[in-house]
Chains A and B, each alone.
Chain A
Amino acid sequence: MIKPSLSQLYQSLTSEQTLSARALIDADTALRAARGRVVPHERDEVATALAGSAAHADLVQFLHALEPASAELARDLAHSGAAHERRERGHRAAQGARPRRWQFGAVAAGVVAALALFIARTGPVTQQPFQAHVAPADRGDEIFNGSLERSVAHQAGGDRIFHADGGDGVSSDRIFTPRGG
Chain B
Amino acid sequence: MGRSNDPNHQRLEQLLSDYGAKLRALVAAHGLARHGIDADDVEQEVRIRLWRAIERDRSAAFHASYIQRVVASTVIDALRRAQVRAAEPLPEESEDGFQPFPDQNRGPEDRASGHQHVEKLKACLDALPERRRLPISLHLQGFALQEIADLVGTSAEAARKLVSRGLDELKDRLRGIGAGDFDD
User: B118–A12 contact, CB under 8 A?
Assistant: yes
> Which among A3, A59, A61, A64 is the interface contact of B183 at CB below 8 angstroms?
A3
Q: Give chain B residues whose Cβ lies under 8 Å from the Cβ of A50.
A: 138, 141, 143, 151
Within 8 A of B (CB), among A48-88: 48, 50-52, 54-55, 57-59, 61-67, 69-74, 76-78, 80-81, 83-85, 87-88
| Residues of chain A with a CB closer than 8 A to B54's CB | 77
| Complexed CA–CA distance, A3 and B117 (Å) | 12
- The answer to whether A26 has its CB under 8 Å from any CB of chain B is yes
How many chain-B residues does the 8 Å CB contact rule pick out? Answer: 70
Do B58 and A6 touch (CB < 8 A)? Answer: no
Report the bound CA distance from A64 to B18 in whole Å: 18
CB neighbors of A among B137-160 (8 A):
137-143, 146-147, 150-153
- Which residue from chain A places its CB closest to the CB of B23 in the assembled complex? A66
Contact A31 B69, beta carbon cutoff 8 Å:
yes
Contact A31:B151 (CB < 8 A) given known A6-B140, A10-B141: no
Contacting pair A57 B65 (CB below 8 A): no
- Point out the residues of chain B lying under 8 angstroms from A26, CB to CB: 76
Question: Can you name the residue of chain A whose Cβ is closest to the Cβ of B149?
Answer: A36
Tell me which residues across on chain B come within 8 A of A4, comparing CB atoms: 114, 117, 180, 182-183
Q: Is the CB of A15 within 8 A of B34?
A: yes
Is A165 an interface residue, CB under 8 A from the partner?
Answer: no
Q: Scoring B residues 52 to 77 as 1 if CB is less than 8 Å from chain A, else 0, what string do you get?
A: 00100011111111111101110110
- Give A6 to B83 CA distance when docked, in angstroms: 25
Query: Which of A39-47, A99-107, A143-151, A172-180 binds B?
Result: A39-47
With A84-B8, A87-B8 as known contacts, state yes or no: A62 contacts B67, CB within 8 Å: no
Closest beta carbon of chain B to A116's beta carbon, Å: 45
Whether B122 is near chain A, meaning CB under 8 Å from some CB there, is yes
- Is the beta-carbon distance between A31 and B15 smaller than 8 angstroms? no
**CA of A13 to CA of B66, assembled, Å:** 33
Given contacts A6-B121, A6-B183, 13 further A-B contacts (CB under 8 A): A3-B181, A7-B139, A7-B142, A10-B121, A10-B137, A11-B141, A15-B100, A31-B68, A58-B35, A62-B26, A70-B19, A70-B67, A84-B59
Query: Can you list 22 A-B contacts with CB-CB less than 8 angstroms, sorted by A residue number?
Result: A6-B170, A7-B139, A11-B141, A15-B100, A18-B83, A26-B76, A31-B65, A31-B68, A34-B68, A36-B147, A36-B151, A47-B138, A51-B134, A61-B147, A63-B68, A67-B64, A70-B64, A73-B19, A73-B67, A74-B61, A77-B12, A88-B59
